[in-house]
Structure 1
């Protein structure tokens, strides 16, 4: 599956151009997890980045990786899907894709591990999707 096909599967656009993440079944997410997003250059050898990886390595070697540590499968998918849409389209269809560093800071804030005491992480762990959507 190509990157554009992945983006088409995970998102839709409303009449105003806003990008919305589609609700996928666990089976669809499982199939999507195996899909290659890009190849990241690395001095030790190129890294194939798939949608299901816990870490996404950038297409430029000098940038930091994005870590996904949410612990709730559906929310993990939504954060990854949102991250991918921001990297490929920005916040609206036809918009300017956000830089890796900008997306990195947003995804890391959402993916903070259990050793940190951030209120957003508590919302994620409590599965309060309505509250989460107002914060993201």
Structure 2
């Protein structure tokens, strides 16, 4: 699944529903080795909670799950383009996953208009952990 960004975006589109996009949410598509989907988890109704804290807690949980070496991150909101806050969360996810030995296979912004991958700098690939 995860070697194809278009297919991954389609899966994010299916997992993150309209209510999650309207309210704002963070999705984690937990993956098995090789990048196949194991379990989607969407944290909705953030009620103003800092997405970085939600991400940190989820990284801690995923790091202790058997046969789950990483995830795809989905940032859900009603509208808008990829912005600085999304880029900061994406970078934080890359760094947190690297520290925890997890693989971040990608970060996607899901809005009512569609799903957009956050780009990785030219010449780089997403960081993978030791798992």
> What is the TM-score with the length of structure 1 in the denominator?
0.30
Q: Which has the higher helix share?
A: 1
Higher strand share: 2
Q: TM-score by structure 2 length?
A: 0.31
The answer to which structure, 1 or 2, has the higher relative contact order (CA under 8 A, 6+ apart) is 2
